[in-house]
């Protein structure tokens, strides 16, 4: 059991951290015995714990850092086991010596040191763990650190230190039973075809990019001669498309259903056409208005639902107004028959109160936490989390976006470069678990982009990796079930009772994974564990010696 001593203001961050690092813990109580004590508060209490981890950039009462502090610094980058970890709050640095545990880059000093004794180990870290959690899950990471899963690294570091101290550990990792991680395929539907766009910005933009723009891309090595010819052919066919004599090459649904055969994807649909939205302070705000809405898609709505796909809201004003958020939810719910509605904001618009607005409006989840200009971990995590100040809304982070990879104004990557970036995300997902959320837009498979072959390759690669493909709603519901599991000290043994989720889900979801690291590992030993697949059918008793059985 972990005992936590935190500042009162940090309680929400502590509770959310231990929903992501799902292991037995409680707020520290004097007189109780703990295996590990984690401290960010102002005082270091007396404890018989085998491991004490003290975090914070300030000197605390009873602090072993009182004579070792070197200086304070902000925006420090740490190095830990080949990983780089940005610290967004203040960091107290120490002189580097043989006790150094975590070091800042550039030789700036140690950000943590170890003080072992015969009876226990004390680790002193110069940053505040729960302050970092609070910043990551609210403000998020800047673009320059987008590719770093910072919160997952914080969890991995604490886990490593617990195991290295000789403690055992019980954890419910973010792994759907029997799978390496979850994958969520999503599509923001901004257009349902070019036929709706005559003599407007969208049409003229397409013609430019498909003719002059594609020659520029050929010269830059971004398009092949075959792509150039296909783009010109599409541009010449535009009058026939308008007349209904040629296929609309931007219509997305049939192509995605073919590529994602037998997979549950999520489509975010515009609730009201010709609405750009209010409170926009972005260039060309009028272009945000869509030429279609969910009411124009009765046949495709039926087809997508019959194919096992989920339909959500591509929000317009839901990011800032509760009544409009409710209206957008009702519009999509009424026309699709979906019961639990999720949302991703059009253009990824957000403000400080967005999560509270969506929570009050009744959305089951949001999936807006991502970047427009790059790919990465805006919230530093591969996991679904609950935003601070909400009651039931969960956030499904978005990680890989087609436009961010390939747009000239964004990363502007070649296929080879983009594949290397995506492989890094696959490695992180395999290492940390959780969910990899991918966004591919409606017209990305056809002229003038031709990003469909890359997407097909990515989906087929994921099919080969023993992952669980779930819709956004299914993935969120799986994490919700994991969050409902509780731990309590066993009344029958010195072990732990794992309390099952409070209710059964309507969907058929993968089971949970119970992971038990046994006691007694050495610091440099590779720590073994035993996994048990658990469907949550009943409470479980874990004996600290016998383990999971």
Q: What is the DSSP string of 145-199?
A: GTT--HHHHHHHHHHHHHHHTT--EEE--S--TT-S-EEEEEEEES-S-STT-SS
Omega before residue 520 within 30° of 0, cis: no
R_g over Cα of the chain:
25
pLDDT over threshold 70, residue 463: yes
The kind and range of the H/E element at 208 are helix 201-208
Burial (Cβ within 10 Å: 0-12, 13-18, ≥19) of residue 345: buried
Could you give the angle at the alpha carbon of 515 between the alpha carbons of 509 and 517, nearest 5°?
175
Phi-psi region of 100 (alpha: psi -120 to 50; beta: other; left: phi over 0): beta
Other CB atoms within 10 A of residue 99 CB: 16
pLDDT over threshold 60, residue 498: yes
Are 184 and 516 contacting, i.e. CB atoms less than 8 angstroms apart?
no
Q: Which two tokens stand for residue 314?
A: 């591509």
As a whole number, mean pLDDT of residues 431-453 equals 95
Are 405 and 413 contacting, i.e. CB atoms less than 8 angstroms apart?
yes
At residue 524 the predicted structure's pLDDT band, cuts being 50, 70 and 90, is very low
Q: Which two tokens stand for residue 366?
A: 């949001």
For CA atoms 21, 26, 31, 32, the dihedral sign is negative
The predicted structure's pLDDT at residue 71: 76
Are 303 and 297 contacting, i.e. CB atoms less than 8 angstroms apart?
no
As a whole number, mean pLDDT of residues 346-352 equals 96
> Which has more confidence, 488 or 291?
291
As a whole number, mean pLDDT of residues 393-418 equals 96
Other CB atoms within 10 A of residue 359 CB: 20
Q: CA-CA distance, 55 to 47, in Å (whole number)?
A: 16
Are 294 and 271 contacting, i.e. CB atoms less than 8 angstroms apart?
yes
Pairing mode, strands 169-171 and 512-517: antiparallel
pLDDT over threshold 60, residue 481: yes
pLDDT over threshold 60, residue 306: yes
The predicted structure's pLDDT at residue 465: 96
Residue with tokens 């072959």: 453
Q: How far is CA 80 from the centre of its chain?
A: 22
Helix extents (H) in 290-367: 298-306, 322-336, 354-361
The predicted structure's pLDDT at residue 525: 46
Q: CA-CA distance, 205 to 121, in Å (whole number)?
A: 63
At residue 38 the predicted structure's pLDDT band, cuts being 50, 70 and 90, is very high
Pairing mode, strands 400-401 and 25-27: unpaired
The predicted structure's pLDDT at residue 472: 98
Q: List Cα–Cα distances, 112 to 92, 131, 216, 513, in angstroms.
A: 9, 16, 51, 32
The kind and range of the H/E element at 437 are strand 435-439
At residue 340 the predicted structure's pLDDT band, cuts being 50, 70 and 90, is very high
Considering the domain delimited by 2-171, tell me its CATH architecture: 3-Layer(aba) Sandwich (3.40)
Q: Which long-range contacts (CB under 8 A, 24 or more apart) does 410-416 make?
A: 410/372, 410/373, 410/374, 411/373, 411/374, 411/375, 414/221, 414/222, 415/454
Q: CA-CA distance, 478 to 163, in Å (whole number)?
A: 27
User: Please, which residues bridge with residue 394 across strands?
Assistant: 365
Give the residue among 130, 153, 127 at the shortest CA–CA distance from 65.
127
Q: Which two tokens stand for residue 61?
A: 């009462």
Segments making up each domain of the chain, as ranges: 2-171, 182-190+250-477, 194-248, 485-542
Q: CA-CA distance, 465 to 460, in Å (whole number)?
A: 9
Q: What is the value of pTM for the model shown?
A: 0.94
At residue 507 the predicted structure's pLDDT band, cuts being 50, 70 and 90, is low
The predicted structure's pLDDT at residue 523: 47
Tens of pLDDT, residue by residue over 204-225, are 999 999 999 999 999 988 889 9
pLDDT over threshold 50, residue 439: yes
pLDDT over threshold 50, residue 484: yes
Could you give the angle at the alpha carbon of 279 between the alpha carbons of 276 and 281, nearest 5°?
90
Tens of pLDDT, residue by residue over 316-325, are 999 999 999 9
Q: CA-CA distance, 155 to 381, in Å (whole number)?
A: 10
Domain 182-190+250-477 sits in CATH at 3.20.20.370
- Look at 83-97, 290-304, 310-324, 410-424 and tell me which has the smallest mean pLDDT: 83-97
As a whole number, mean pLDDT of residues 494-517 equals 76
Helix (H, G, I), strand (E, B) or coil at 127: coil
As a whole number, mean pLDDT of residues 11-39 equals 95
Q: Which two tokens stand for residue 265?
A: 């994807």
As a whole number, mean pLDDT of residues 336-350 equals 96
Residues 6+ apart with CB under 8 A from 37: 2, 3, 4, 5, 28, 45, 47, 49, 51, 52, 53
Residues 6+ apart with CB under 8 A from 439: 186, 187, 188, 344, 370, 398, 400, 401, 402
Are 191 and 290 contacting, i.e. CB atoms less than 8 angstroms apart?
yes
The kind and range of the H/E element at 131 are helix 129-138
Q: How far is CA 199 from the centre of its chain?
A: 39
pLDDT over threshold 60, residue 136: yes
Rounded mean pLDDT of the chain?
Answer: 91
The predicted structure's pLDDT at residue 57: 92
Percent of the chain with pLDDT over 90: 77
Helix extents (H) in 395-535: 402-406, 415-432, 452-463, 472-484
Tens of pLDDT, residue by residue over 224-273, are 999 999 999 999 999 999 999 999 999 999 999 999 999 999 999 999 99
Residues 6+ apart with CB under 8 A from 350: 319, 368, 369
Query: How many residues would you count in the chain?
Result: 549
Tens of pLDDT, residue by residue over 184-210, are 999 999 999 999 999 999 999 999 999
Are 77 and 87 contacting, i.e. CB atoms less than 8 angstroms apart?
yes
């Amino acid at each position: 059991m972990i005992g936590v001593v935190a500042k009162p203001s940090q309680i929400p961050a502590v509770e959310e951290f231990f929903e992501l690092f799902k292991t037995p813990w409680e707020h520290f109580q004097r007189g109780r015995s703990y295996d590990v004590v984690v401290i960010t508060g102002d005082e270091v209490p007396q404890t018989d714990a085998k491991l004490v981890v003290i975090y914070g950039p300030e000197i605390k009462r009873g602090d072993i850092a009182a004579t070792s502090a070197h200086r304070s610094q902000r925006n420090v980058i740490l190095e830990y086991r080949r990983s780089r970890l940005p610290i967004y709050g203040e960091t107290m640095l120490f002189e580097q010596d043989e006790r150094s545990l975590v070091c800042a880059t550039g030789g700036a000093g140690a950000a943590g040191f170890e003080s072992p004794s015969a009876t226990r180990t004390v680790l002193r870290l110069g940053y505040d763990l729960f302050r970092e959690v609070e910043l990551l899950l609210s403000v998020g990471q800047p673009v320059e650190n987008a590719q770093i899963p910072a919160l997952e690294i914080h969890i991995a570091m604490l886990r490593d230190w617990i195991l290295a101290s000789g403690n055992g550990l019980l954890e419910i990792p973010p792994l759907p039973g029997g799978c390496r991680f979850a994958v969520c395929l999503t599509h923001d539907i901004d257009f349902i075809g070019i036929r709706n766009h005559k003599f407007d910005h969208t049409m003229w933009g397409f013609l430019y990019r498909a003719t002059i723009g594609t020659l520029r891309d050929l010269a830059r090595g971004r398009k092949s001669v075959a792509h150039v010819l296909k783009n010109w052919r599409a541009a010449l066919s535009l009058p026939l498309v308008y007349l209904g004599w040629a296929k609309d090459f931007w219509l997305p649904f049939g192509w995605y259903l073919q590529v994602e055969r037998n997979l549950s994807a999520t489509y975010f649909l515009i609730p009201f056409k010709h609405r750009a939205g209010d409170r926009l302070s972005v260039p060309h705000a009028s272009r945000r208005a869509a030429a279609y809405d969910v009411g124009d898609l009765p046949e495709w709505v039926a087809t997508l639902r019959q194919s096992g796909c989920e339909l959500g809201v591509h929000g317009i004003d839901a990011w800032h107004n509760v009544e409009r958020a409710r209206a957008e939810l009702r519009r999509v719910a009424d026309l699709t028959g979906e019961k639990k509605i999720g949302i991703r904001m059009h253009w990824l618009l957000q403000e400080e109160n967005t999560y509270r607005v969506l929570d009050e409006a009744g959305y089951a989840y949001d999936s807006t936490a991502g970047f427009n200009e790059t790919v990465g971990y805006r919230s530093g995590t591969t996991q679904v989390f609950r935003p601070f100040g909400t009651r039931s809304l969960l956030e499904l982070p978005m990680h890989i976006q087609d436009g961010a990879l390939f747009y000239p104004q964004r990363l502007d990557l070649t296929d080879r470069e983009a594949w290397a970036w995506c492989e890094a995300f696959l490695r992180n997902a395999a290492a940390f678990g959780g969910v990899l959320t991918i966004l591919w837009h409606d017209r990305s498979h056809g002229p003038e982009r031709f990003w469909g072959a890359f997407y097909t390759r990515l989906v087929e690669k994921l099919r080969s990796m023993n992952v669980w493909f779930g819709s956004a709603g299914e993935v969120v519901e799986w994490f919700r079930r994991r969050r409902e599991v509780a731990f309590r000290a066993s009344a029958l043994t010195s072990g732990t009772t794992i309390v099952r989720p409070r209710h059964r889900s309507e969907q058929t979801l993968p089971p949970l994974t119970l992971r038990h690291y046994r006691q007694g590992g050495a610091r440099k030993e590779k720590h073994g564990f035993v996994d048990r697949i658990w469907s949550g059918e009943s409470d479980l008793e874990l004996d600290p010696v016998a383990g999971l059985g």
